Structures are given as structure tokens and as C-alpha cells.
Amino acid sequence: MKYRKSKVVFKNYNHNQNLLLPPSLEELIERNHPVRIVSQVVDSINAEPLLDKYKGGGTSSYHPRMLLKVLIYSYMNNNYSSRKMEAALKENIHFMWLSGMSRPDHNTLNRFRSERLKDVLKEIFAQVVMLLVGSGHVSLKEVYTDGTKIEANANRYTFVWGNAIKTNKKKMAVQLEELWTYTQIVATEELKDSAPIEFTEIDSQKIKDTIAIIDKALEGKKIDKKIRQKVGYASRHWPANLDKYDSQEELLGKRNSMSKTDADATFMRMKEDHMKNGQLKPGYNVQISTHNQFIVNYSHHQNPTDTTTLPSHLEQFEKLYGQLPQKVTADAGYGSEENYTFLEQHSIEAFIKYNAFDKNQRKSNQKLTDNLHYNKEQDCYYCPMGQRMARIGTRKRITENGFNQQYARYQAINCKGCPLRSLCNNSKGNKILEINHNLERLKAKATQKLKSEEGLYHRRKRPADVEPVFGNIKNNKGYKRFLMRGLLKTEIETGLLAIVHNIAKVA
């Protein structure tokens, strides 16, 4: 049987159809589209600090509110390239609507991101957070703090090591002294009126002057060809090398490493280690505080350990909001005497484990010398064999941040022939015990807090509050490497990501 084919009807299509009224972009944007929320949020913040960054005069500028909206919406769509933003402003109706059909080019967008937002983005971020506080999404009273390392936009193989600089400077001083000693031997007559030279501290001028004297004294002398070559090399290279080392040391500050292509970046071990060889990469230690998975504070640090970052991170929190959080929860990486003291002095409740917290909770893991009996009046301990361990002194230590620690030292009278020696004392002499009483007190306080009902709640909530935020930034948003260079500029990138993260969470 043969079926008759139905008539095919196409919808009217006329590419060149003239419209009676021009289409409105406003109508083309869905009512609940995230782009509207971005626009609404940026419109409701006080843009005064941003406007103050414009000097005035000259040609007209694109409005900073519009540029900020474009950047935020672009970051929301995982588009971090200014060239792609420029293209989107010509092709994408959401960008066209946001910019009101303005078309800033990639240079304008880039300059705005890296220059105009410097020093003001944190204030804008804080305003966004305060909007969330107002809407009841977050509270500034309880925060969960953690850190991650993000790779810098820098060459992984051009590094500077502080220790290598020290060694090279020392070598240079030793070699200069050797040349000087040699010259004194072979040209005693020529150097008889020269003043003695001290080589413990050298600078480029000293090298230049010393080499000039050596050169003059050795002129016309029959000496080893290699010595003459060395003097020539030293005069050509050493002063410039020493100046280079000095300026690198200035850039390093307290750090031991930096990248040559981004001097603010420090070499650190990253979680993303595809080669599985623990390779150190240039990067920044990014610290954030969250509440209900919203970012309420962020800061960049140049040292790889989290321990030293907490006080300055919280000081910034106070600067942004005029108050400190009442409760801070963080992992054991933050459980140091310095941090506990800072929190105690600022009346902040700390739900922070110390390194051996979990181990100390299991009785089977305890060492023989843990929990020895302490007599406070007499300031002495009693060892497992009942021997009195009297106080023999104090060891002082200053941390990287300049915090003073004191370790009280106690010593047993006689460990010879003790049956517990193999379990208790590895040293040759009598057992010495070092106790930081302040830290022990703070640890006991932390233990009590962590084991309380509220402590258990915060310990459970911490990994579900702050850690997914890093997961979102690194995996969902694909942000594993900064685009810009330098501490301030990379902080702008984190700030934009933090604002986007918060807005997207509401949207």
C-alpha cells in the first residue's frame, strides 16, 4: 500500500526581515537569570572608593560599575581572559545587556582589573559580604578558616634560593680574601702602605677597591696565569653579582625562595602534583574564612605554612568589618602557641586542634614520658621510675613571626642502669625534659573546647564548610593557576573569585 507524503510546513524564515520596532535586550534576558543578580549586587554597593581612583580630565572613561559587572559576570562563567571578555561584549546578549552595549577592549578591561581594583576590591568584597549578612545568608560571628596553595603565573624552573645566595656570597668573600693573601705574599713591597682589609662583610664597592689594589700590586709581576685570569674575572663579574644578590635578598625578605618571573611568588609544595614527585612550584598561600560556605575573608601569604598566617588573616577581617569573629574553627595546621595566644588575647573562642590532638586521645599511642606528674610548688617533674626531675633552666625560641616561646628544662638525677631507659631516654646522659608550660595550658584549654558539644559540632561542620569552597574554585571554576603576577594583583583575582563564589551561591 502506498502512503501519501504529508505536506512539509516550515516556519517563516527571513534573515533580512526589517523590524518595525528595535528589539529590547531587556526583554531577551530571563527574569531570574544570574546576570541580573550580578547587576543588582554591583548597583547596590557604594562605588565611591572605586570612583576615587579616577583622576579626571582627558577623555571620558567607561563607568567602573559597568566594568566591574563585566568582570564579575565573566568570572562567573569561568572566563578569565580579557580578550574573551572583549569578544563576549560583541557576541553575548547577557554581556551586551550588562554593558549597555558599551564595548571596552581587552586593554581597558585588563587595566581596570589590575590597576583600578588595586586597594579597593577588598572593600567592595566586604560590602558584598555585608549584603549577605543583611539578607541572613551569613554571620560574621563564627568562621571556618583554611588555606590552599595556588600556582603563580611564573616559570617553574627559574628560581632563586636564599641559602644559595648566602653560600655564594660567602664563597666570594673567601676567594677575595685568598687573592688578597696571595697578593700580600707576592707583592709585599707594593702593599706595605696598604691598610688591612676585613672580609667578613663585603659589598660591591669593597670588591672593586680591593681588586683595583690587587691588580695594581700584581702589575708586571710574574704570576700564575690562572691567578691573573681570576683577578680579571673578579673585577668584571663580582661587583655586579654581589649587587644582584643584595637586591634578590631584599626581595626575598624572610623567605628562602622566590621565582625570577614573579618575585612575590614563593616555591611551595602543591596539592596538584601530576608528576607525583613532590616538585616545588612558585605560588601563593591563599587563606579564606567561610560561613555557610560563603567566603567572608581572604588573604594571600608568601610563606607555605598555614600556622603563621592566622593573626594577619584575622587582623584583616577586623579591618574589613570593624570587628573580629567570636569563634574560629580551623584544622590542626593552625594549632600553635602563637595562634592560641592571639585568639585568647582577642577573646576569640578557638576550636582548633593541635598536632598531636588525635594521637593524645588514644591511650595506646601515648609515650612513657607523656603526662608525667608535675609538682607546681616545687616546679619539678617525677619520671616513670619516680625520680625527681629538677628544673635546670629555660630555652628561649623566637618564631618566624617574632613570637617568644619559653621551654622549661628538667633533668633526671641518674638514668644509669634504669630498666626503662630504652623506652624513655635516647640520649647518652640523664633524661632532659623540655616543657612549654604556656603551650600545655593552651592545649588543655583547646582540648576542653574541642571535646565539648559545641566543639564536636564545629569539628563536624568545618570540613563541610570551608573545604568545598576550595573544591569549587579549583575544580568547578578551574582556577589552579593565577593569570596575573605579584601579590597585589593575584589578590585581586582571588577577590573577584570570592565575590563570584558568593553571588553564584545566592543565585
Q: Which of 25/380 has CB closer to ligand SF4? A: 380
Q: Which of 387/472 has CB closer to ligand SF4? A: 387
Binding mask 209-248 for ligand SF4 (x = CB under 6 A): ----------------------------------------
The verdict on 418 binding ligand SF4 (CB under 6 A) reads yes
Q: Which residues contact 147 (CB under 8 A, 6 or more apart)?
A: 285, 286, 287, 288, 301, 306, 309, 333
Binding mask 373-392 for ligand SF4 (x = CB under 6 A): ----------xxx-x-----
**Contacts with ligand SF4: how many residues (CB under 6 A)?**
12
- Residue 349: which region, alpha, beta or left (left: phi > 0; alpha: psi -120 to 50)? beta
Q: Which of 313/431 has CB closer to ligand SF4? A: 431
Residues 312 and 297: beta-carbon distance below 8 Å = no
Instruction: Tell me the three cell numbers of residue 422.
Output: 630504652
Q: Which of 117/412 has CB closer to ligand SF4? A: 412
Task: For the CB of residue 245, give the shortest distance to ligand SF4 in the complex, in Å.
Answer: 48
C-alpha 17/C-alpha 242 separation (Å) is 74
Q: Which of 28/423 has CB closer to ligand SF4? A: 423
Question: Which burial class, exposed, middle or buried, applies to 471 when counting CB atoms under 10 A from its CB (0-12, 13-18, 19+)?
Answer: exposed
Task: For the CB of residue 407, give the shortest distance to ligand SF4 in the complex, in Å.
Answer: 17
Residues 143 and 289: beta-carbon distance below 8 Å = yes
Q: Which residues contact 460 (CB under 8 A, 6 or more apart)?
A: none
Task: For the CB of residue 380, give the shortest distance to ligand SF4 in the complex, in Å.
Answer: 12
Nearest to 504 by CA among 36, 34, 128, 99: 34
Q: Which of 228/421 has CB closer to ligand SF4? A: 421
Q: Which of 81/387 has CB closer to ligand SF4? A: 387
Residue of the chain from 116, 281, 353, 431 that contacts ligand SF4 (CB under 6 A): 431
Task: For the CB of residue 422, give the shortest distance to ligand SF4 in the complex, in Å.
Answer: 9
Nearest to 326 by CA among 285, 286, 291: 291
Residue of the chain from 120, 314, 412, 442 that contacts ligand SF4 (CB under 6 A): 412
Residue 481, CA distances (Å) to 78, 158, 272, 313 in order? 13, 17, 11, 22
State the residues that interact with ligand SF4 by CB under 6 A. 383-385, 387, 412, 415, 418, 420-421, 424-425, 431
